[in-house]
Amino acid sequence: MSTVTVDDHLYGEAHELAVDEKRVVVGYGFWIFLLSDIVMFSAFFAAYAVLAHATAGGPDGMQLFSQRSVAIETVCLLASSYTCGLMQLAVTSRRYAVTYLMAFMTFVLGACFLTLELREFSSMIALGAGPQRSAFLSSFFTLVGCHGLHVAAGLIWLAVMMAQVLIKGLYDATVERRLLCFSLFWHALDIVWVWLFTVVYLMGVLS
Amino acid sequence: MSESYYDRAPGDASALPDIEQGRTSGVLVYTIGMGLAVGLTALSFWAANTSLLWAGGVSLGLTALAIAQMGVHLVFFLHVTTGPDNTNNVMALAFGMLIVFLVVVGSLLIMADLNDSMMPGPEIMNLHMQR
């Protein structure tokens, strides 16, 4: 990855560079994983776009989607992405209090998002518009549910990372690398959500 | 060590751990990104609900807004730039986007074509009624 050349006798510097290089390699590997995850989402998006009008006489998006709750969910996820970025800055400058505060805010905002989404799902199912109703709803629940599942996994990951910060501290290179991966994951989920609210919710209420 | 090119991990604000200098500007970068993202999101919601715009072009406009917001997220939150320390990340991203484009646009094209060349409905196909 890196083309840095170091003289052999400069062991300390070489060691430091090795740590730095590992950070780059781990980040790059996780970046590849995220891109493959986005490719998976693109397949779900394609399925949804194809099946969006296959309502089988059931309710369509215009009747089911509430733009207000989607707007609140979007604000929650955007704000949590922002606090996650601030947490990442606090991690690189080794400030514990800010790290915990920002991680807590990220967690709360993510949990708010998830709660709103689950409430939306349960109200749709209560209306008889569950995933078994039509191909449109099957693909809707698969796509949006898969994103929600990612957010839930991210929340668990964040909680585990805070426990690791508590035990190992922010000077641990492993913890720092994992936190870098977490923030990548969280920002990538936000990108998926941008496409989700555009394609599913906003275009769904257009036609 | 005269010439050294650092690769940058995706999401890293800076390849060199220049902490004290990068802190305030880092907050600024995230805040600018947040402001742009909120603005684009608000524009998307407005465009979907207004009656001022030509209805046929709204979905295209929404797509453009989503692409713009994806760019904002990539630059301001994920710190993907076009710098020489970022080549690997950008190449991986470009390949990923190519696959995403092929999957989505390919599926839509193929399915639209299949729908077009589908056999006509039962009213026309029912030979008993056509006598």
User: For position B56, what pLDDT does the model report?
Assistant: 83
Tokens for A166?
């508590």
Please tell me whether residues B14 and B74 are part of one structural domain: yes
Q: How confident is the model at residue B80 (pLDDT cuts 50, 70, 90)?
A: confident
| B79 Cβ under 8 Å from any chain A Cβ | no
With an 8 Å Cβ cutoff, are A4 and B5 in contact? yes
With an 8 Å Cβ cutoff, are B92 and A86 in contact? no
With an 8 Å Cβ cutoff, are B34 and A43 in contact? no
DSSP A136-193: HHHHHHHHHHHHHHHHHHHHHHHHHHHHHHHHH-TT-HHHHHHHHHHHHHHHHHHHHH
How many structural domains compose chain A?
1
In a domain, B1, yes or no: no
The label of the residue with tokens 């986005």 reads A38
Of A2, A89, A194, the CB nearest to B6: A2
Instruction: Count Cβ atoms below 10 Å from residue A174 Cβ, excluding itself.
Output: 11
Inter-axis angle of helices A173-196 and B55-72, to 10 degrees?
Answer: 170
A43 near B103, Cβ under 8 Å? yes
In a domain, B3, yes or no: no
Most confident of A2-16, A75-89, B14-28, B71-85: A75-89
User: For position A32, what pLDDT does the model report?
Assistant: 95
Give the gap in angstroms from C-alpha A163 to the nearest C-alpha of chain B. 22
Please tell me whether residues B75 and B23 are part of one structural domain: yes
With an 8 Å Cβ cutoff, are A199 and B66 in contact? yes
Percentage, residues of chain A above pLDDT 70: 91
Give the separation between CA B43 and CA B59, rounded to whole angstroms: 13
Instruction: Count Cβ atoms below 10 Å from residue A82 Cβ, excluding itself.
Output: 24
Summarize pLDDT for A156-193 with one digit per residue, the tens.
Answer: 999 999 999 999 999 999 999 999 999 999 999 999 99
A138, pLDDT greater than 90: yes
CA angle (A62, A194, A54) in 5-degree steps: 35
Give the separation between CA A169 and CA B118, rounded to whole angstroms: 62
Contacts of B118 in chain A (CB under 8 A): none
Domain holding B121, by residue range, is 83-131
Please tell me whether residues B74 and B97 are part of one structural domain: no
User: For position B24, what pLDDT does the model report?
Assistant: 58
Give the separation between CA A120 and CA B65, rounded to whole angstroms: 25
Please tell me whether residues B93 and B76 are part of one structural domain: no
Give the separation between CA B73 and CA A194, rounded to whole angstroms: 10
End-to-end CA distance of chain A: 49
Please tell me whether residues B73 and B103 are part of one structural domain: no
Nearest CA in chain B to A27: B9
Mark which residues 16-75 of B lie under 8 Å from A by CB: 17, 19-20, 22-23, 26-27, 30-31, 33-34, 37-38, 41, 44-45, 47-49, 55, 58-59, 62-63, 65-66, 69-70, 73-74
User: For position A146, what pLDDT does the model report?
Assistant: 97
Summarize pLDDT for B38-63 with one digit per residue, the tens.
Answer: 999 999 999 998 888 888 889 899 99
B86, pLDDT greater than 90: no
In a domain, B69, yes or no: yes
Mark which residues 83-112 of B lie under 8 Å from A by CB: 88-89, 92-93, 95-96, 99-100, 103-104, 106-108, 111
In a domain, A106, yes or no: yes
Instruction: Count Cβ atoms below 10 Å from residue A59 Cβ, excluding itself.
Output: 16
Contacts of B10 in chain A (CB under 8 A): 27-28, 30-31, 184
In a domain, A5, yes or no: no
Summarize pLDDT for A90-127 with one digit per residue, the tens.
Answer: 999 999 999 999 999 999 999 999 999 999 999 999 99
User: For position A55, what pLDDT does the model report?
Assistant: 87
User: For position B109, what pLDDT does the model report?
Assistant: 95
Give the separation between CA A155 and CA A150, rounded to whole angstroms: 9
A64, pLDDT greater than 70: yes
Task: Read off the CATH number of the domain in which A132 is found.
Answer: 1.20.120.80
Most confident of A166-170, B21-25, B86-90: A166-170
